[in-house]
Structure 1
Amino acid sequence: MGSSAGPVGRVRGLRRPVAIVVGIVVALVVAVLVPNWWLGREADAWYRGDAGRVRGLAEEMVAFEASDDRQRDSGAGGEVAGMWGLLAHQMTAIGLAQVVLAHPEWRGEFAGVATKAARKSLLPGMRSEFTAAWHGEDGEAAVGGPHGHAYMSYPALALGMARLVDPAFPADLAARQDAMVAAYERQLLASPTALLETLPGEAYPTDIAAVAAAIAVHGRATGQDHSAVLAHWAQQVRAVQIDRGTGLLVQRMGVDGWAHDATRASGTGLGAYFAGFADRSVARELAAGLFRQERNLFGFSAIHEYGGGSSGAGDIDSGPVILGISVSATAFALAPARAFGEHDVFTRVFRTADLLGMPLRSGNRVRFGTGGVIGNALLLAFLTSGPELAR
């Protein structure tokens, strides 16, 4: 009786709770370190441009374009339409072109599909929301007029990348791209702020970075000199569009240079990717501002959307914003991290993207389950982004 009251009894009584605590700690360490290690291996493979993974995701997007063709041929319409269709086909074209630049031996398999995807990004149905916002004014027909229609830079860039890698690039698409780029060049040079409207009264610096990218890639594909307009754009990005306190782009502005929104990481991340085609030093500045928004926990990183003490809800640009973290900005950060050799940033962000993206394999194909077609198209472009794109 009373043996448990002595020192030995108390020690024995503590063994079980201590064992439970130790077990919990070990379980937590394993729960953190095992995914960290495993997903880190995947990140390193993507960072190095592992041919099997790159090819697998490229083949997934080729399969998407083939399925989209079949649906269109049947009269059912494409797999995805409107603004999301524009983004899916545009990023597929760019991503496949980047794959060909990195692996010229795959040109015969992927270059023609890049051209096909770029052509689809020009379909009127892909810009129907913008046409409605402009009261029926069609963007391609009106480029070069009094309204900027800067969103047409997305198909213009897709065309340029396909043109860069496809020896059989069609003459009709070349003529359409020539016209859009010439119009954008005139408009940008005429704009003191290098800002053009995307929507009535609204300019998005991210879209203007895509305009600059389309112009730069056109020059690379055709040999035309666009240095004057690209220098003007770069100067005005630094003077007007970047907030010096945060290093982030203002999300929305008037063409007069007045801010209509806060500085935000989602616009900056995508802007950094596009800027990489046009001016590597501008892209590096944007990337530096973006990386300052990184939030790291146990080796998993995500990007905080708002800079400079601002806050707000999520929208079509940022995706869901949870505790200030932007889903879109986190994915966008992969491209400049890889392009500028930020291996540690890339690894931390990729761990998060991989954990939430649910990568799946089907035969030789690779896809990310939670992002759908658009997520896979974006990731193909971002995960193959590299230093060879901008000069």
Structure 2
Amino acid sequence: MISLRTASTAMYIAAATLLTLLLLVPQVRMYRDDLPRTDVVAQLRFIRAELDSGSAEEMQRMFPEGYVFSYVLYGLTWTDIARGDPAYRDEALREARWALRHVDSPTGRAVFDARLRPAYGVFYVGWSSRLRGAVVELAGTNAPETARFTADCEALAAAFDTDGPFLSAYPGQAWPVDNVVAMAALRSHDRIVGSRFDAVVTRWLTSARTRLDPATGLLPHMAAPTPEGARGSSQSIIQRFLPEIDAAWATQQYSVFRRLFVDTPLGLPGVREYPRGRDGAGDVDSGPLLLGISASATVVGIGAARANGDRSLSGPLTGLGESLGMPVTLGDSKRYAFGVLPIGDTFLAWSFAAPQAGSTTTFATVAPWWWRLPWHALTLMVVALLWFPVIRGLLRRARAKRPPATAVSPPAATP
């Protein structure tokens, strides 16, 4: 019969083995500086199941754009996947159209104001147009979405010429990042359907450059009602789309963003919510801050780095996401942080799927080659402490089983 002590030891060893795997696997995942499309598709399978279960409605209760972001980023991720691998075209087109139907619905428009210019505001029209344009690009210009895509872009252009450069997303509230997305939609129209909005974009660029954050030289976080300087949560999205609008200006802006917002507290790379030398509190945009680092800005920063050809940043951030995100693959679906926050999985998938741009710029190394080593050492120390009782017990048993030394009698004295 197994003794209580033996059973306790077996349970401890089983728990120690499981914890050791949980500690060591993330250390290996730190070296994954890029992900295959199959991994991102597995993420999309999980996200689709969550959307079917009402995750978009749940995210809407957490922040005002939760519903639209949940669907629009899901659709954009599929279109980016298909742009890189035409084998996914049919599935991507089907899923992106499904996402677009949800965005283009009474529920999708519910929190936005139809009295704005354009109707429902620049956030809604900008993001929905960017997704609709991606659908048209996959389906061809004879797609049924083309007419609406052109009409919405014309509405954006008219509003920018009247009220630009920073249109409102809600009455009296304007964020430059939403306007950057809208400009990217206009550029995509000219690239996909035909040149029509180049003059509008040029005027916007000229005007936007006069409204930069004086402290950083970057586009500000908020334009109205109260101007607020550049912040990482919006800059990461801005830097993702600027290369589509003006490549030369994007290169200049990205270099400033990288210098002021990319940091390595405790040796781990990340994106700050506030520029170096400035502190602030986290909010619904940034999420909780850890040593000034915003998880949301860091996640979206992966896509921004890829869009700017910055492998020296996208690689470490990808490895960090694979390590700290604790991804779990079950069947054909993959989730991070046990899938407790599907919108986080959605932003990650969108970032991982961003096309990797080429670049003539030589970027400075974000973190030294040995940045992972202290974390490996710390993990090995924890593992050693975890197994110390087991090893000590084995050594004690080995000593207990060792036969006692036989005493040797001294030789008899010689008479």
Shorter chain as denominator, the TM-score bin is 0.7 to 0.9
Which residue pairs with 1:164 in the alignment? 137
Question: CA–CA distance in 1 between the matches of 2:307 and 2:241?
Answer: 12
Q: Mapping of 1:46-125 within 5 angstroms?
A: 46=35, 50-64=36-50, 67=52, 81=60, 83-125=65-107
Structure number with larger C-alpha Rg: 2
Using the aligned pairs only, state the percent identity: 24
1:6-31 Cα deviation digits (max 9, x unpaired) = xxxxxxxxxxxxxxxxxxxxxxxx9x
User: Is the Cα contact below 8 Å between 1:245 and 1:308 reproduced in 2?
Assistant: no
Structure 1: gaps (5+ residues)? 1-29, 131-136
Task: Confirm whether residue 204 of structure 1 aligns to residue 178 of structure 2.
Answer: no
Which residue pairs with 2:228 in the alignment? 261
Q: CA deviation at 1:368?
A: 1.7
Question: CA–CA distance in 2 between the matches of 1:120 and 1:337?
Answer: 29
1:23-47 Cα deviation digits (max 9, x unpaired) = xxxxxxx9xx9778623322x232x
Residues 310 and 299 (structure 1), Cα distance of their counterparts in 2 relative to 1, 3 Å cut: closer
Instruction: Name the SS of the counterpart of 2:44 in structure 1.
Output: helix
| Alignment match of 1:235 (pick from 188, 202, 206) | 206
Instruction: Name the SS of the counterpart of 1:361 in structure 2.
Output: strand
Which residue pairs with 1:183 in the alignment? 155
Task: Confirm whether residue 314 of structure 1 aligns to residue 275 of structure 2.
Answer: no
Instruction: Name the SS of the counterpart of 2:65 in structure 1.
Output: helix
1:177-206 Cα deviation digits (max 9, x unpaired) = 322210111121234x51111122221110
User: Is the Cα contact below 8 Å between 2:96 and 2:135 reproduced in 1?
Assistant: yes
Task: Confirm whether residue 250 of structure 1 aligns to residue 220 of structure 2.
Answer: yes
Instruction: Name the SS of the counterpart of 2:110 in structure 1.
Output: helix
| Alignment match of 2:28 (pick from 38, 44, 61) | 38
Which residue pairs with 1:374 in the alignment? 343
User: Is the Cα contact below 8 Å between 1:271 and 1:286 reproduced in 2?
Assistant: no
1:312-362 Cα deviation digits (max 9, x unpaired) = 211121121233221211112101211222222112222333333221111
Question: CA–CA distance in 1 between the matches of 2:185 and 2:160?
Answer: 12
Structure 2: gaps (5+ residues)? 1-19, 359-415
| Length, aligned pairs only | 334
User: Is the Cα contact below 8 Å between 1:303 and 1:325 reproduced in 2?
Assistant: yes
Q: Which moved more, 1:86-95 or 1:220-229?
A: 220-229
User: Is the Cα contact below 8 Å between 1:115 and 1:163 reproduced in 2?
Assistant: no
Q: CA deviation at 1:168?
A: 9.7
Question: CA–CA distance in 2 between the matches of 1:327 and 1:60?
Answer: 21
Question: CA–CA distance in 2 between the matches of 1:245 and 1:371?
Answer: 37
Question: CA–CA distance in 1 between the matches of 2:257 and 2:267?
Answer: 18
Instruction: Name the SS of the counterpart of 1:114 in structure 2.
Output: helix
Residues 261 and 85 (structure 1), Cα distance of their counterparts in 2 relative to 1, 3 Å cut: same
User: Is the Cα contact below 8 Å between 1:338 and 1:386 reproduced in 2?
Assistant: yes
Q: CA deviation at 1:79?
A: 6.6
User: Is the Cα contact below 8 Å between 2:272 and 2:294 reproduced in 1?
Assistant: yes
Instruction: Name the SS of the counterpart of 2:167 in structure 1.
Output: coil
Moved over 6 A (4+): 33-36
Q: CA deviation at 1:388?
A: 6.3
Question: CA–CA distance in 2 between the matches of 1:371 and 1:383?
Answer: 19
Q: CA deviation at 1:62?
A: 4.3
Which residue pairs with 1:287 in the alignment? 254
1:88-107 Cα deviation digits (max 9, x unpaired) = 10001111000010001211
AA matched with 1:165: L
Instruction: Name the SS of the counterpart of 1:251 in structure 2.
Output: coil
Residues 199 and 326 (structure 1), Cα distance of their counterparts in 2 relative to 1, 3 Å cut: same
User: Is the Cα contact below 8 Å between 2:262 and 2:271 reproduced in 1?
Assistant: yes
Which residue pairs with 1:343 in the alignment? 311
Which residue pairs with 1:27 in the alignment? none
Task: Confirm whether residue 304 of structure 1 aligns to residue 272 of structure 2.
Answer: yes
AA matched with 1:45: D
Q: CA deviation at 1:245?
A: 4.2
| Alignment match of 2:114 (pick from 138, 142, 155) | 138
AA matched with 1:138: A
Q: CA deviation at 1:277?
A: 2.9
AA matched with 2:147: A
User: Is the Cα contact below 8 Å between 1:266 and 1:317 reproduced in 2?
Assistant: yes
1:285-325 Cα deviation digits (max 9, x unpaired) = 33223322122146521111112643321112112123322
User: Is the Cα contact below 8 Å between 2:26 and 2:326 reproduced in 1?
Assistant: no
User: Is the Cα contact below 8 Å between 2:240 and 2:308 reproduced in 1?
Assistant: no
Q: CA deviation at 1:58?
A: 3.4
Q: CA deviation at 1:138?
A: 2.4
Measured on the aligned residues, the alpha-carbon RMSD in Å equals 3.2
AA matched with 1:235: T
User: Is the Cα contact below 8 Å between 2:167 and 2:174 reproduced in 1?
Assistant: yes
Give the structure-2-normalised TM-score.
Answer: 0.71
Which residue pairs with 2:391 in the alignment? none
Q: CA deviation at 1:374?
A: 1.3
